[in-house]
Structure 1
């Protein structure tokens, strides 16, 4: 035997060596076949480092090399070539002053360092390896805190930050029981951190809403951990189709169902860009305007007074009801089987157009009455989000567009058909059931804005202005939302074109 600084060269046979029981690698090395072919052609160029616990009959891998040991066993079974059986290894004696636990901790850190240098472990394997090291260290030093764990890892050659340790432990605690296939499949650290960010935002929203519930109501709700686990359930299969957008949608859906709140409200509160903005700039300050400036909400449906005709001032224009229909030559067709080939004004409804003017007399400015979907900072220029740099980004505009389309669709009970898209402009699905006349009007208008349906000027005129035999298709609230939606989509396209121009100039 030859003594070296790294240990002692020792000849052993393959059956005398075992893999390290706490090896952090739990999945097959993705380079396994390449390593196997290299050893077949060139032999074992990197000697295995082995040690032996006091009282054990076999040697174990001391620092990396478990994949090479597995390859040698495969090649021996395939060829029975003696070069795979008789091995020369580097033997590191077990330090007599160390207990079994201390020696295992030393070996585990050696495996972590070796694999970290090669970059071959998945994030969850690294996390589990660190947790095993922490468990061993706590058994040796009961009551140690997280800073002591970080110091132990640093002294063992495996230095990580306090934040990274927290991410690792959170991944094991919150995600591993629900999505093991995704994690062992190599889900990256960046994506895992984003998933945990979504979870943190969702938990904050959940707890805030629960605090506002009447006494005793919170006890009837499930724990948030169970709710989030339910949202992860669709991604826990053997071949999950996963994306952050799908996860956010699932989280919003589950929370909105349990809390009976708007899906879009949860989505906005758990949006990654919004959470990042809050992390950098803090929570936005709530500004409550004076009562005289607050928005007054009028009932969506009103019953026409019995004495309406008598109450009409003399000389006023005759008010036409919506019981009349459009002429046959002013109709829009659609390929959707559930939208009739004729679009008619809503018949049999008691919707009454609001007489409050959208535009003030002698001015082209928009009425100060605003939709609740607009940011508070938009002020009197609610249709012009570019006035506020905070909301004048493609991401923020996309959120405004989606929420505005959702609220506009909700006026006709169609909000469940509206979904977000990667382009930033919303999409609206075709209805599966027959729509009311009012629903047809709203669906065709939204489908037109989403780019799914050609428009006819005569129908737009009827929807926006009305005619001498039927009132306008949209009331004032819908009218304002419509122009907010149009303005936001226009602004989104401007920002996207600016981005393309910037890229082309470079």
Structure 2
């Protein structure tokens, strides 16, 4: 190799380097893994969908702690693709507001430059961020009911954008739980009522901290009054609709300075309805109270109370020493009844003074305890006090109260617990013997039967037909993969109800299951199959009761009136 001259060496040293051919990067890309970093307040902003709207109740305590100690834990931050500023990822909006306030007060650099943990923006970033804020706010400081409701409604929008279809309340609850914010379906229903009907009328009261129980009472009141309004306003000319009336009445109570009284709202609303409908106030108030009870019963889960106690068997009749062997024995004195409340005692005493009850000289034989227990499928919740009050009311009204122990010998006796306990499949109480009440009971029995198969959400109450419909929209996408019991129960309930609806909606997802193939195994079981594939004894009793009430409902609507066999 020839030696380089000084001129050649200088030329090589002065030669240009490699030139960049690609475009210049305007900014560095975000890290692809969790990375600690220091950011300034002007680079960070709060999460724009933060469910908290009102001031954090722990704001002053948190501010005092940060002023003295600084940030104990760095807030998690993230950044949407294409944006220049960072946002709080899940929890930390209150701390960011406090840091901005402390910086403006002190100009201390430790409040301006803060350590953070950057976490990459995930594929489902909006949903993950929103559910993260809901969960964090629930754990630290708590959200008001309306703030949670608005957050859940926003989550519904994001889920529906993601899936491209509307979500049922049960599916929304499942997705929120899977993403870290567990919530019950019944709470979602109340939240939607609060956002749709209450928030436009009483925003100050709701943001002031109105709780779930009062929101639930207002929602039940609105539904009960709306149902009565529709029934009584049908065929009349009323200038104002119910939604406008409800909003107008409720808006008068939108004051954050005093607690909301649901009873006062009901009094004012019923008064306005009575004036508009030209109905007596007391009559309307009683209807509203009865309708509220039905709404609460259908909207809550069945709960068990005190179990039905076993009555002691009557002692063997005793003979007096002077009596001959052929003399009929004197029955032993009955056990004293449990004490009643003062009101019940007074009513009972007055009844005894006016007309003494006829004594039965031939008491019915007491059933064998083993036979009595054989007719109990599941204990029906009751108490001796409740039974005494029921007997007193039946005596006052002249009704015959069914006696389970006596009917074991001659009726169709059975006992099954639930929201409406069953002690006699056939007997229908006079207060139940109207189409509206029958539909409520039929719908509840259908729901409890479907609940055995895990499909309670598919049963929806209605005011027509038998009182319920099978909602195909509530079925999951893989309905054909459901267990036999679930598909058979829904097919049976659909077959019982669909012929009595004005516009039946068939469960197309279950069309491949023929009722002729499913009915036997569902009611009786398979020859060598597990007992879990058939309807339980409790469910079978409820099915019998459902059929009895449905037959009576059809008789009433056909004009048959009351029959002697009830």
TM-score (norm 2): 0.46
Deviation at 1:150, TM superposition (A): 2.6
The aligned counterpart of 2:107 is 80
1:276 aligns with 2:313: no
* Cα distance in 2 between the residues matched to 1:143 and 1:114: 28
1:118-138 CA-partner distances (Å, limit 9, x unpaired): 251101000101111111221
User: Superposed, which structure 2 residues align to 1:247-262 within 5 Å?
Assistant: 247-262=265-280
* Cα distance in 2 between the residues matched to 1:31 and 1:81: 23
1:137 aligns with one of 143, 147, 159: 159
1:417-456 CA-partner distances (Å, limit 9, x unpaired): xxxxxxxxxxxxxxxxxxxxxxxxxxxxxxxxxxxxxxxx
The aligned counterpart of 1:178 is 201
The aligned counterpart of 1:24 is 51
* Cα distance in 1 between the residues matched to 2:211 and 2:222: 17
User: Superposed, which structure 2 residues align to 1:220-299 within 5 Å?
Assistant: 220-237=238-255, 239=257, 242-271=260-289, 275-276=292-293, 279-280=296-297
* Cα distance in 2 between the residues matched to 1:278 and 1:85: 54
Which 4+ stretches in 1 moved above 6 angstroms? none
* Cα distance in 2 between the residues matched to 1:236 and 1:225: 17
User: Superposed, which structure 2 residues align to 1:68-217 within 5 Å?
Assistant: 68-95=95-122, 98=123, 102-118=124-140, 120-146=142-168, 147-211=170-234, 215=235, 217=236
TM-score (norm 1): 0.51
Provide the aligned length of Structure 1 versus Structure 2. Answer: 280
The aligned counterpart of 1:314 is none
The aligned counterpart of 2:507 is none
Cα 1:243–1:62, aligned 2, differ >3 Å: closer, same or farther?
same
User: Superposed, which structure 2 residues align to 1:491-502 within 5 Å?
Assistant: none
1:58 aligns with 2:85: yes
* Cα distance in 1 between the residues matched to 2:298 and 2:77: 53
**Given that residues 32 and 120 in structure 2 are in contact (C-alpha distance below 8 angstroms), is that contact kept between their aligned partners in structure 1?**
no
Task: Name structure 2 gaps, 5 residues minimum.
Answer: 1-30, 300-351, 356-389, 398-566
Task: Name structure 1 gaps, 5 residues minimum.
Answer: 283-362, 367-374, 383-506
**Given that residues 198 and 248 in structure 1 are in contact (C-alpha distance below 8 angstroms), is that contact kept between their aligned partners in structure 2?**
yes
1:294-319 CA-partner distances (Å, limit 9, x unpaired): xxxxxxxxxxxxxxxxxxxxxxxxxx
* Cα distance in 2 between the residues matched to 1:62 and 1:281: 39
**Given that residues 128 and 172 in structure 1 are in contact (C-alpha distance below 8 angstroms), is that contact kept between their aligned partners in structure 2?**
yes
**Aligned-partner SS, 2:131:** helix
* Cα distance in 2 between the residues matched to 1:31 and 1:137: 31
**Given that residues 44 and 86 in structure 2 are in contact (C-alpha distance below 8 angstroms), is that contact kept between their aligned partners in structure 1?**
yes
**Given that residues 7 and 90 in structure 1 are in contact (C-alpha distance below 8 angstroms), is that contact kept between their aligned partners in structure 2?**
yes
**Aligned-partner SS, 2:252:** helix
Structure with the greater relative contact order (CA < 8 A, sep ≥ 6): 1 or 2? 1
Cα 1:380–1:158, aligned 2, differ >3 Å: closer, same or farther?
closer
Cα 1:263–1:239, aligned 2, differ >3 Å: closer, same or farther?
same
* Cα distance in 1 between the residues matched to 2:395 and 2:239: 40
1:38 aligns with 2:60: no
